[in-house]
């Protein structure tokens, strides 16, 4: 039983269905009609010590990342972030920790112009839950379920660095200390692709943020859209540090299954691809085409020799080991 | 350092101030302008095992109460509840627990016509965070800060039963098993006063829900409004079971400082009091006048002989013992 089927089984139909709920539980965010001209995207994510971040993570980084993860959900939905609420559970009051946490949270809030409007502090094992609210009025918003056969599949940035950053805490990587710190920085300070997606969304058919790894998240798009895909794994964008670490036989597994990148995976129809690419040029972040949506179901990965590539790992799932 | 000053010190000004935020962090809920004609009230509360509920609490009751607490915040703001999100952290997957939790949550959701629109399930120590969204458009909504000298102070229901219900788990009370179960039921299955407040709100000046005990919560109204109050403690409504348990010298302390009642404390101007009372008659829940708002600061408690009464206990505060 996975996290996704847990939500399906126990929580997919709580309360009566409502006409003003445009997108219900199950996407990166819900979308509700607030008035005739206004739609809000709403999303929630929890961050637990020892599960979502190692115990040695700095308070500043926990503050930053707990907001970044939620901003990334707004990016995936093509919504403009507006407000957030924060529920924080702490084992004991620690002023230094709280000051650093709120500094990290605030630095990202200022950068993306969101306001903290509600909070709850309680005593208990460290965890942080953020709810975010975004404006989804201007267009119908982006969803996972609108990928069409023929769409090109694009991803932003470089994949797998965050997962290597996490590995670097416990494993000897063939990198300098500076390079390892660089990967840990990618793990702890993701930059959600909000600005990019607000500029690009009119060229995008479907979208998801890569929090559980490309392989799992692209599969969410495919199953929600009822389509399949072909992905050329050697076109998956990876950093120089990644190449140094992962030059073995399974060299793309970390980029395919490592979580925490918070890059976007989008599909773009062939006729809008040129406009999409023109528009991406205003941003530093690279966008790479990694494959194509197909009518036939299933996700087929091909290596540089056009042979099928099989993934050894699988996406991180909180409850998978209970099944 | 208390929970309230924690929020003030570290979280009261995160992100840039925004014109569309009508009520910022610090009340029972935030209120935001979503469009010209629509305001939303937004609130968040976390529930931690061993802090907010004893470890033996049934999953059904945790589901019920985690939603009830948030519905009560909407009642305090005079907002009509619409949607909720749920973030749930569990030590391990337990289908029976999840089925019971969601049944309790759903039973209350159906009763108050709210829809669960978003969720996150993670692994970790048991805790539940609910965000709730309500319509606050019709009037300006209710706040803590609008009590006026001369206002009568009313509370709904009976106070102190939930606190006695909690005590009954560890302490011998002079009650039958059935009576103790009744008090535990008040603790675990509060009925938020949403319907009452939506009918009554045009007669109310200020409002708060009694989650931390009447003494602490009335003080929140007084300090937010810059006023004082006189309370006649023998007018505080208590149940028959309460009277049997608390006939000692400190007999009103539990009703004054025990948390978890989720009744409402409101202030009503003298000219609207008759209309207010007429309107309360459609509900089973009694509303009791316990005193009056005064221009002079401070909360003065008087006993039946008009002598000053001093509270021995104080409100529950998650971080007070760290100060």
For residue B35, what pLDDT band results from cuts at 50, 70 and 90?
confident
Q: What percentage of chain B exceeds 70 in pLDDT?
A: 92
**Number of neighbouring beta carbons within 10 Å of residue B253:** 22
Min Cα–Cα distance to chain A from B306, Å: 38
Query: Can you name the CATH fold of A3-135?
Result: 60s Ribosomal Protein L30; Chain: A; (3.30.1330)
* HEC-encoded secondary structure of chain A: CCHHHHHHHHHCCCCCCCCCEEECCCCCCEEEEEECCEEEEEEEEEEEECCCECCCCCHHHHHHHHHHHHHHHHHHHCCEEEEEEEEEEECCCCHHHHHHHHHHHHHHHHHCCCEEEEEEEEECCCEEEEEEEEECCCCCCCCCCCCCCCCEEEEECCCCHHHHHHHCCCCCCCCCHHHHHHHHHHHHCCCCCHHHHHHHHHHCCEEEEECCCHHHHHHHHHHHHCCEEEEEHHHCCCCHHHHHHCCCCCCCHHHHHCCCCCEEEEEECHHHHHHHHHHHCCCCCCEEEEEEEECCCEEEEECCCCCECCCCCCCCCCCHHHC
Res. B282: pLDDT tops 60: yes
B319/A35 CB distance under 8 A: no
Interface touch A7/B121, C-beta < 8 Å: yes
Q: How far is CA B50 from CA A88, A119, A128, B91, B171, in A?
A: 16, 20, 18, 14, 17
Chain A contacts of B97, Cβ < 8 Å?
Answer: none
With 60 as the cut, is the pLDDT of residue B3 above it?
Answer: no
- Residue A123 gets the label, from left (phi > 0), alpha (psi -120 to 50) or beta, of beta
Kindly state whether B310 is in contact with chain A, defined as any CB-CB distance less than 8 angstroms: no
pLDDT band for position B314 (50/70/90)?
low
Residues of A in contact with B18 (CB under 8 A): 82-83, 115
Task: ipTM value, please give it.
Answer: 0.80
In this prediction, residue B323 carries a pLDDT of 34
Residue B9 confidence (pLDDT) above 80 = no
- Taking the model in full, what pTM does it have? 0.85
- Do the Cβ atoms of A83 and B21 come within 8 Å? yes
B22 → chain A, closest CA residue = A117
Angle at the Cα of B72 from the Cα atoms of B276 and B65, rounded to 5 degrees: 140
Q: How high is the pLDDT of residue A29?
A: 78
Residue-level pLDDT at A53:
85
Would the pLDDT of B17 be above 90?
A: no
Task: Say how far apart CA A291 and CA A28 lie, in whole Å.
Answer: 22
pLDDT by position in tens, chain A (length 323): 355 566 667 877 788 888 888 877 777 778 888 877 788 999 999 988 888 888 889 999 999 999 999 999 999 999 999 999 999 999 888 899 999 999 999 999 999 999 999 888 888 889 999 999 999 887 667 889 999 999 999 999 999 999 999 999 888 888 899 999 999 999 999 999 999 999 999 999 999 999 999 999 999 999 999 999 999 999 999 999 999 888 764 688 999 998 899 999 999 999 999 999 999 999 999 999 999 999 999 999 999 899 999 887 655 555 544 43
A–B interface: beta-carbon pairs under 8 A: 241
Confidence (pLDDT) at A316 = 52
Q: Write down how long chain B is.
A: 323
Lowest mean pLDDT across A81-85, A122-126, B68-72, B207-211? A122-126
Whole-number pLDDT of residue B316: 52
Q: Is B91 on the interface with A (CB under 8 A)?
A: no
CA dihedral A19, A22, A25, A28 (to 10 degrees): -170
Domain boundaries, given as residue ranges, for chain A: 3-135, 152-308
Report which secondary-structure segment, H or E, holds B30.
strand B30-35
Q: Which CATH class is domain B152-322?
A: alpha beta
Domains A3-135 and A152-308 share a fold: no
* Span B142-167, pLDDT tens digits: 889 999 999 999 999 999 999 999 99
Write out chain A residues lying below 8 Å of B115, CB-based. Answer: 14-18, 21, 24
Whether B82 shows a pLDDT value over 80: the answer reads yes
Closest CA to A123 of B3, B193, B205: B3
DSSP state of B173: -
Cα–chain-centroid distance for residue A183? 17
C-beta separation of B210 from B217 below 8 A: yes
pLDDT at B315 over 80: no
pLDDT number for residue B139: 63
What kind of fold does domain A152-308 have according to CATH?
Phosphoribosyl-aminoimidazole Synthetase; Chain A, domain 2 (3.90.650)
pLDDT of residue A323: 34
Question: Kindly report the CA angle at B123 between B118 and B124, in degrees rounded to 5?
Answer: 115
């Amino acid at each position: 039983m996975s996290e996704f089927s847990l939500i399906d089984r126990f929580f997919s139909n709580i309360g009566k269905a409502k006409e003003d709920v445009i997108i219900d539980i199950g996407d990166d965010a819900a979308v509700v009609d607030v008035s005739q001209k206004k739609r809000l995207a709403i999303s929630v994510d929890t961050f637990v010590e020892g599960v979502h971040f190692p115990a040695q993570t700095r308070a500043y980084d926990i503050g930053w990342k707990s907001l970044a993860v939620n901003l990334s959900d707004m990016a995936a939905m093509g919504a403009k972030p507006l407000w957030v609420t924060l529920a924080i559970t702490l084992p004991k009051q620690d002023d230094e920790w709280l000051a650093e946490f709120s500094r990290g949270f605030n630095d990202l809030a200022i950068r993306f112009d969101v306001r903290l409007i509600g909070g709850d502090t309680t005593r208990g094992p460290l965890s942080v839950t953020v709810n975010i609210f975004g404006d989804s009025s201007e267009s119908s918003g982006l969803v996972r379920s609108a990928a069409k056969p023929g769409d090109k599949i694009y991803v932003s940035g470089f994949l797998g660095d965050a997962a290597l950053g996490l590995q670097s805490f416990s494993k000897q990587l063939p990198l300098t200390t500076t390079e390892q710190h660089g990967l840990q920085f990618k793990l702890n300070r993701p930059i959600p692709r909000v600005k990019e997606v607000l500029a690009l969304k009119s060229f995008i058919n479907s979208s998801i943020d890569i929090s559980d790894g490309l392989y799992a998240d692209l599969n969410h798009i495919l199953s929600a859209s009822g389509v399949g895909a072909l992905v050329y794994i050697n076109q998956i964008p990876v950093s120089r540090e990644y190449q140094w670490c992962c030059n073995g036989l399974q060299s793309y597994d970390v980029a395919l299954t490592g979580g925490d990148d918070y890059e976007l995976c989008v599909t773009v129809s062939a006729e809008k691809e040129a406009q999409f690419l023109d528009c991406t040029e205003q941003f530093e972040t690279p966008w790479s085409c990694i494959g194509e949506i197909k009518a036939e179901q299933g996700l087929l990965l091909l290596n540089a020799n056009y042979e099928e590539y099989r993934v050894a790992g699988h996406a991180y799932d909180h409850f998978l080991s209970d099944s």
